[in-house]
Amino acid sequence: MQVEQLQDRLVVKHPKGSSTEILLYGATVLSWKSGSPKDHTPVERLFVSSTASLDGSKPVRGGIPVVFPCFGSPSHPDHMKLGQHGFARNSVWKYDGYTETPDFVTVRLTLESTPAIHTLWPKSFHLTYVVELGEHTLSTDLHVKNTSAAPFDFQALFHNYIRAPAKEVTVSPLQNITYYDKNEPKEERRLKLQSKNAVDVLNPSDAVYENAGQHYTVAWRGNVLDITTHNLKDVTVWNAGEKAGAKIVDMEPGGWDRYICVEPGYVRGFYRLGVGETWVGHQTISVKTI
């Protein structure tokens, strides 16, 4: 059996040694251990704060929280009752089974509206989250189906906390891409053009790159992870930095220096989904040999 269902999570093991754990709360990927094509020893690739709450009392500080149907604090008139990053990351998802091929173990989770969600966002929808584990890859797909009688607008994002030393890691290629700098105090100055190709987070970063290339390389000292995406036109690069990081209540001491968030999403503007239609956002994170 490659998938073990525990009370609060799924533990998925690949015959070639990689593994992943998915908390039903938020469908949050909590762990992804994978070797590289050069060194087969499985290594944890995601950062989860040791002080994160995993009991469903608040979204997990780390792993891969799923952001839907709004990113950040709501800005769309239909989203005003929602909390930061929406409800997907703090709702309990249902396990919907797994499939297995020689190369991949794939698990499915689903989420539909509940009375509590309905009071915040009165739409009818069906979400399916598909997590596919390969020998050196982890893919996540979010399927959003509109089961309402009218179109609705949403944003979606995979909030990947990549385990990496913040002082050394870079994300590329981002040169000549326009980004929305959330750390810039004045709204009218927030849209900027990135001049660097490999962007670091030596200073605090909260930058939403618009219409980026959907293929990113996250690199530091002998490590390379590739992220390829589909239908996720934007990517946010976030690291709180030392000062603001110390103020995040569920961030472990010094935790700001152990992660970089590289968050593919559809978050600049909104995707309008017609009645009965399904939208799929996809990412694959691969461990590369260098």
Ligand X SMILES: O=P(O)(O)OC[C@H]1O[C@H](O)[C@H](O)[C@@H](O)[C@@H]1O
Annotated binding-site ranges for substrate = 61, 84, 89
Q: Of the two residues 170 and 236, which places its CB atom closer to ligand X in the complex?
A: 236
Give the 3-state secondary structure of the chain.
CCEEECCCEEEEECCCCCEEEEECECCEEEEEEECCCCCCCCEECECECCCCCCCCCCCCCECECEEECCCCCCCCHHHCCCCCCECHHHCECEEEEEEECCCCEEEEEEEECCHHHHHHCCCCEEEEEEEEECCCEEEEEEEEEECCCCCEEEEEEECEEEECCCCCCEEECCCCCEEEECCCCCHHHCEEECCCCCEECCCCEEEEECCCCCEEEEEECCEEEEEEEECCCEEEEEECHHHHHHCCCCCCCCHHHHEEEEEEEEEEEEEEECCCCEEEEEEEEEECCC
Residue 159 catalytic? yes
Where do contacts with ligand X occur on this chain (CB under 6 A)?
59, 72, 84-85, 182, 206, 236, 238, 261, 263
Least spacing, CB of residue 278 vs ligand X, in Å: 26
Q: Of the two residues 20 and 236, which places its CB atom closer to ligand X in the complex?
A: 236
Please pick, among 21, 263, 277, 282, the residue that the annotation labels catalytic. 263
Q: Of the two residues 105 and 251, which places its CB atom closer to ligand X in the complex?
A: 251
Least spacing, CB of residue 121 vs ligand X, in Å: 17
Q: Of the two residues 12 and 237, which places its CB atom closer to ligand X in the complex?
A: 237
Q: Of the two residues 33 and 85, which places its CB atom closer to ligand X in the complex?
A: 85
Least spacing, CB of residue 41 vs ligand X, in Å: 30
Least spacing, CB of residue 211 vs ligand X, in Å: 17
The beta-carbon contacts of 122-127 under 8 Å, at least 24 apart in sequence, are 123/78, 123/148, 123/152, 124/148, 124/149, 125/152, 127/68, 127/88, 127/93
Least spacing, CB of residue 206 vs ligand X, in Å: 5
Binding site: what residues are annotated? 61, 84, 89
Please pick, among 132, 159, 188, 210, the residue that the annotation labels catalytic. 159
- Asked whether 65 and 26 are in contact (CB, 8 A), the reply is yes
Residue 100 catalytic? no
What are the residue numbers of the active site?
159, 263
